[in-house]
Every structure is written in structure tokens, then in C-alpha cells.
């Protein structure tokens, strides 16, 4: 058994709960080499105050969090400020992938960093775009948790340069 504990400051009180089986929604997202399965356990189906959580299963060699998206500006209803964390697992375990974290050019606090991720790695995503790719031959799963005041699943903005792939 592997267990992840995630928290965010909250005034809400609720008893602990287990989300399994029918409580977890699964949907196919993307297409071609950026198709993946997104599992949502803690989203609009649960009366939580600040957390959203789930997992994404990438086929070997596929991209995820694509087109690149971000959720670091309050721009209702399209985008909300949500910090995120990814916890990575690979099959087979010696697998690897990459995550590119970056901001738009001209951002006064901008950055552009590529991280090699391996089985058991965690990446914190306080802001910026963050596409992920799995190396060929290695299935990638990552647990994702979002936290923020505006708790809305899907409240993100795709990077304009790459959003066109959704239109084809």
C-alpha cells in the first residue's frame, strides 16, 4: 500500500473519506501522442474547501499536461490560482521522463527549467506552464494535487502558442 497525504490550510471540518471505485472518475484526454487517462478523485464531486486531487496515466512515450497549461492568475472563470504538486511513478521502475516548467517571456519573475523525473520523484509547481513527457517504453503515472482559494477543476489557461493542437 502506498499512501499520499496532502493538505492545505482550511477552515472546513469534514470526516476522513476514502475515494475509490465509482467515486473516481476516469476520462481520456488529448489524442495522438498526447493522449492520457486522467483520474479525478477529489474534484467537483466532493465538498472540499481548497484541494483537488487525482492521477494521470500516460502511455509510454506520450506527452501529458499538454498543451502546456498554467493556473497562476485569477482570471475567472477561465483561470484560478492553484499551486500543484506531481508525484511520479514509472513502469518499469527504472523509467524516466521530463517536465519543463516555465513562464511567459517577459515575466519579471520568469524561469525555464527542465527536470529529469524518475520513479518516486516529486515536483512542486507554484506557477508557470508544466508539460510532461514519458520516455519511450516507460508508462508514467503521476499523482497530482492542486491547492488554492478558487477551487475549480479545469480553471487553467493553455499556452497560446500551443493551444491550436486542441482545434485539429
Q: Report the distance separating Cα 42 and Cα 137, nearest Å.
A: 30
Q: Give me the pLDDT at residue 17, please.
A: 74
Reference 165, options 99, 72, 28, 68; nearest CA is 68
* Residue-level pLDDT at 2: 81
The pLDDT assigned to 152 comes to: 87
The CB-side HSE value for 27 (13 A sphere, CA atoms) comes to 6
Cα 133 from Cα 68, distance rounded (Å):
11
Q: Rounded to an integer, what distance in angstroms lies between the CA atom of residue 37 and that of residue 64?
A: 9
Residues 50, 55, 87, 126, CA torsion sign: negative
Give the per-residue pLDDT at 46: 79
Cis before 92? omega within 30: yes
By C-alpha distance, which of 92, 164, 157 is closest to 127?
A: 157
SS3 readout for the chain = CCCCCCCCCCCCCCCCCCCCHHHCEEEEECCHHHCEEEEEEECCCCCCCCEEEEEEEECCCCEECCCCEECCCCECCCECCCEEEEEEEEECCCCEEEEEEECCCCCCCCCEEEEEEECCCEEEECCCECCEEECCCCEEEEEEEEECCCCCCCCCEECCCCHHHHHC
Q: What's the confidence (pLDDT) of residue 87?
A: 97
Q: List per-block mean pLDDT (blocks of 10 residues) for the chain, which spans 168 residues.
A: 84 77 90 96 83 96 97 94 97 98 93 97 96 98 94 92 92
Amino acid at each position: 500500500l502506498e499512501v499520499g497525504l496532502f493538505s492545505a490550510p482550511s477552515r472546513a471540518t469534514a470526516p476522513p473519506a476514502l475515494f475509490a471505485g465509482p467515486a473516481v472518475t476516469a476520462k481520456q484526454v488529448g489524442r495522438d501522442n498526447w493522449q492520457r487517462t486522467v483520474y479525478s478523485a477529489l474534484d467537483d464531486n466532493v465538498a472540499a474547501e481548497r484541494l483537488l486531487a487525482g492521477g494521470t496515466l500516460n502511455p509510454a512515450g506520450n506527452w501529458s499536461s499538454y498543451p502546456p497549461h498554467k493556473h497562476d492568475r485569477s482570471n475567472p472563470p477561465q483561470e484560478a490560482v492553484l499551486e500543484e504538486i506531481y508525484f511520479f511513478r514509472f513502469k518499469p521502475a527504472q523509467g524516466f521522463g521530463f517536465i519543463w516548467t516555465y513562464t511567459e517571456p517577459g515575466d519579471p519573475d520568469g524561469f525555464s527549467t527542465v527536470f529529469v523525473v524518475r520513479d518516486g520523484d516529486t515536483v512542486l509547481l507554484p506557477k508557470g506552464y508544466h508539460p510532461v513527457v514519458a520516455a519511450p517504453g516507460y508508462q508514467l503515472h503521476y499523482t497530482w494535487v492542486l491547492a488554492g482559494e478558487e477551487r475549480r477543476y479545469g480553471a487553467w489557461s493553455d499556452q497560446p502558442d500551443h493551444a491550436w493542437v486542441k482545434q485539429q
